[in-house]
Amino acid sequence: MSFLDKVKQGLARTKQSLVRNIETIVIGYAEIDDEFLDDLEAVLLTGDLGVTATDYLMHEIRRGVTEGEIHHTKEVIPFIEKTLAARLETPPESDVRHRPEVILIVGVNGVGKTTSIGKLAHYYHSQGKKVLLAAGDTFRAAASEQLTIWAERVGVPIVKHGEGADPAAVVYDALESAVARDVDVVLIDTAGRLHTKVNLMNELEKISRVAKKIIPDAPHETWLVLDATTGQNAVSQAKLFGEIVPLTGVVLTKLDGTAKGGVVFSIKEELGVPVRWIGLGEGIDDLQVFRPEPFVQALFAEQHNTITESTKQRGIR
Ligand code: GDP
Ligand code: MG
């Protein structure tokens, strides 16, 4: 399946909630007036675009109307598509620039950290990179067992200690081993216990500090994993984590199971950190490098068919 098809399929529910609702508004109004704009704004907000992205988009649409870029309601959808794609940041190429490149994966429990590490390991491994996993979630034995299964599936080494061990010690050993084995990419799993912000902050700080003993500029990347199904809560979580640890990117998981994919547009707005990867399923291949244009294209694709279908369904001529 092509990238576009996969994203299209994964985004089906978001498309339904966001794009179809925009289309319904567009069909319902003959001309662009205040009422049209108000309705449109409401739909964007319920589509999990977030306040900042919605405000920006509404401002641009009003500007487009005033400056004669938009004349008819039907021109609004292509305008939204173009504006959203341009507003999203194209993340830097996920090239490996250091050897080893040390990537710290953070996020609360259950968002998909371990699974994403498995998929990332597969991605880098299939590009011919030497990958090593560090089982830094030592809180439960099950966590490192889960990561071990991924390591075996992908065929990459893993460094782990027993349950309750110091995560920083795991990271120390992992980096030492990575240097000795001439590894290209080290992916560090962490525990996501957010019971106290201070604890987590201390733990992540210690991991970074200890990592620097072996590789002075590590970690090179710190990616926050967010669960798209939590919608705007993911944005709040991102803000909280941004205060705990300096983030360089977001991995947005579970886009396949949610109507709240519009959250993609609010992460950059609210957090200032680009979405780097998107998770579109539980399989090993279900992680994609995030590219704004194809993403927005996939979201808005086949809009004409959809208009006709939803028009028929709603009995609108
Ligand atoms: P962690 O606690 O952050 O390490 O989360 P896990 O990696 O254990 O994942 C929690 C659950 O989310 C598991 O059942 C995963 O299979 C599932 N999951 C992770 N990423 C995705 C995704 O992109 N799509 C779907 N549908 N499920 C996912
Ligand atoms: Mg985990």
Domain shared by 55 and 171, yes or no? no
> pTM here?
0.91
Domain shared by 140 and 39, yes or no? no
Domain shared by 187 and 231, yes or no? yes
In a domain, residue 162? The reply is yes
Number of domains in the chain: 2
In a domain, residue 112? The reply is yes
Q: Which domain holds residue 232?
A: 101-290
Domain shared by 225 and 170, yes or no? yes
Domain shared by 164 and 66, yes or no? no
The answer, yes or no, to whether any atom of ligand 1 lies below 6 A from the CB of 136, is no
User: Nearest residue CA, atom 17 of ligand 1?
Assistant: 112
Q: Which residues pair with 103 in a beta bridge?
A: 187, 221
Domain shared by 11 and 149, yes or no? no
Pairing relationship of beta strands 131-136 and 185-190 according to DSSP bridges: parallel
In a domain, residue 248? The reply is yes
Query: What was the pLDDT predicted at 309?
Result: 44
Query: What was the pLDDT predicted at 195?
Result: 65
Query: What was the pLDDT predicted at 194?
Result: 66
Query: What was the pLDDT predicted at 312?
Result: 43
Domain shared by 124 and 231, yes or no? yes
The answer, yes or no, to whether any atom of ligand 1 lies below 6 A from the CB of 253, is yes
Instruction: Looking at the CA of residue 278, tell me the nearest atom of ligand 1.
Output: 23
The answer, yes or no, to whether any atom of ligand 1 lies below 6 A from the CB of 108, is no
CATH number of the domain where residue 261 is located: 3.40.50.300
Query: What was the pLDDT predicted at 94?
Result: 66
Domain shared by 199 and 71, yes or no? no
Domain shared by 48 and 86, yes or no? yes
Tell me, what amino acid is at 214?
I
Ligand 1 centre to CA of 191 (Å) is 14
- State the ligand closest to the CA atom of 227: 1
In a domain, residue 96? The reply is no
The answer, yes or no, to whether any atom of ligand 1 lies below 6 A from the CB of 283, is no
Query: What was the pLDDT predicted at 24?
Result: 93
Q: Which residues pair with 278 in a beta bridge?
A: 252, 288
The answer, yes or no, to whether any atom of ligand 1 lies below 6 A from the CB of 199, is no
In a domain, residue 79? The reply is yes
Query: What was the pLDDT predicted at 211?
Result: 97
Written as six digits, the tokens of 231 are 């919608």
Domain shared by 82 and 118, yes or no? no
Domain shared by 136 and 270, yes or no? yes
Q: Max Cα separation, the chain?
A: 69
CATH number of the domain where residue 83 is located: 1.20.120.140
In a domain, residue 71? The reply is yes
pLDDT digits (tens, 9 = 90+) for 50-63: 899 999 999 999 99
Domain shared by 213 and 70, yes or no? no
Query: What was the pLDDT predicted at 140?
Result: 87
In a domain, residue 95? The reply is no
The answer, yes or no, to whether any atom of ligand 1 lies below 6 A from the CB of 6, is no
Q: Are 138 and 144 in contact (CB under 8 A)?
A: yes
Per-residue CA distances from 230 to 17, 71, 265, 282 (Å): 15, 36, 14, 17
Question: Which residues does the chain have with pLDDT short of 70?
Answer: 94, 194-195, 302-317
Instruction: Looking at the CA of residue 257, tell me the nearest atom of ligand 1.
Output: 26
